[in-house]
Amino acid sequence: MPELPEVETTRRGIAPHVEGREIGEVIVRQPRLRVPVPGDLAERLVGARIGTLARRAKYLLLPLSGGEAAGATLLWHLGMSGSLRIARLGELPRKHDHLDLVLDDGAILRYHDPRRFGFVDWLAGCPEQDSRLAHLGPEPLSAAFDGERLYRLSRGRRVAVKPFLMDNTVVVGVGNIYASEALFMAGIDPRRAAGRISAERYACLAAAAKEVLAAAITQGGTTLRDFVGGTGEPGYFKQRLNVYGRHGQPCRRCGAELRLITLGQRASVYCPHCQT
C-alpha cells in the first residue's frame, strides 16, 4: 500500500506537469472505484485550472479554479495499489488505467489501480472540514509532531506502541513499513505498551520516524509490489529497510535473527536483541 513517502513522491513528481494547467478532457474508463467516480466529474472539471498540489496524510489535494470548479478540490487517494503518472497524447492506456485528466498542453494525468481501492472525489467546500480529513493528527515531518506529543497521548494506554504510532489521530502517515523501521532505529520493542514508554524514548522514536520518512521521500518511496512515482519510476528505499520484510534474516546491527509477529492484524518484524 502506498504510504506517506510514496504519496509525497507522487505529489512532487506530477506537480510540475499539472500545476497551472487547464483540464481539457476527462476520460473515465472504470467508475467503480472504492468511492464511485462522480457521474458529473467531466462536466465539472473541463475548463477548470489546477492550482498548487497539496498532500494531507495519504491524500492528494488538487485545488481548482475557474467556472463551476472555482474553490473546489479534487481529493485523491491511491488505495492499496493505485498510482498517478504523467502520460502523453497517443500513449495507449494499459489495463487498470481507469481515469485520465487530459491537460491543455497534451499531458495526461493518468490513474492506475489494479485493485480499485483508491478513489477520486469532489469537494465543494473547505477540505479541512471533510470528515476524512477533519480528525487527522499532525503531519509527521511538522513541528507539531514530537516526542512530547507521543508521551502525552500515550499515558494510560495499554495498546502496543506500534499500532499506537500508526494511529492517524496521533500522527498521520506512519504506516506499517515506516513504523517498523522507526521502532528499530529507536530500539523499541513494537509489543511494548504505549503507556509504559518514557518521554526520553518517545523523543528518540519521534526523531527516528522523522528521519526514516525523510530518507524514504528522498529515495522516492518504497517499491514492494505496485507502486511507481509520478514519472513512472519505482522507489528505492526498499534497499535500506532494516527489518520490514526481512524476518528470518540476520539483523544488520547485531546479527540476531529477526522475528515476525502480528500486531493489530498487521505483520511486524523486529530484532529481539536490539529492540527492548
Positions at the binding site for DNA: 96, 115, 157
8 A C-beta contact, residue 77 and residue 119? yes
Which grid coordinates are listed for 76? 485523491
CA dihedral sign of residues 139, 141, 144, 149 = positive
Query: Is 58 an active-site residue?
Result: yes
HSE toward the beta carbon, residue 189, CA cutoff 13 A:
11
* DSSP per-residue string spanning 124-138: -S-GGGSTTTTT---
The active-site residue out of 3, 6, 8, 181 is: 3
Instruction: Output the DSSP codes for 197-263.
Output: S-HHHHHHHHHHHHHHHHHHHHTT-B-SSS---TTSPPPBGGGG-SSTT-TTSBPTTT-PBPEEEEE
- Rounded CA gap, 223 and 233, in Å? 9
Residue by residue, DSSP assigns 126-182 as: -GGGSTTTTT----TTSTT-SHHHHHHHHTT--SBHHHHHT-TTTSSS--HHHHHHH
Task: Exactly one of 34, 192, 246, 266 is catalytic; name it.
Answer: 266
CA angle 262, 180, 224 (to 5 degrees): 90
Cβ-Cβ contacts under 8 Å for 240 (sequence gap 6 or more): 215, 219
Compute the distance between CA of residue 109 and CA of residue 100 in angstroms, rounded to an integer.
6
3-state DSSP call for residue 44?
helix
Out of 2, 63, 127, 140, the active site residue is 2
Q: Is 34 a catalytic residue?
A: no
Active site residue 266: yes
Please indicate whether residue 210 is annotated as part of the active site.
no
Question: Of 56, 58, 110, 162, which one is the catalytic site residue?
Answer: 58
- State the binding site: 96, 115, 157
The residues assigned a catalytic role are 2-3, 58, 266
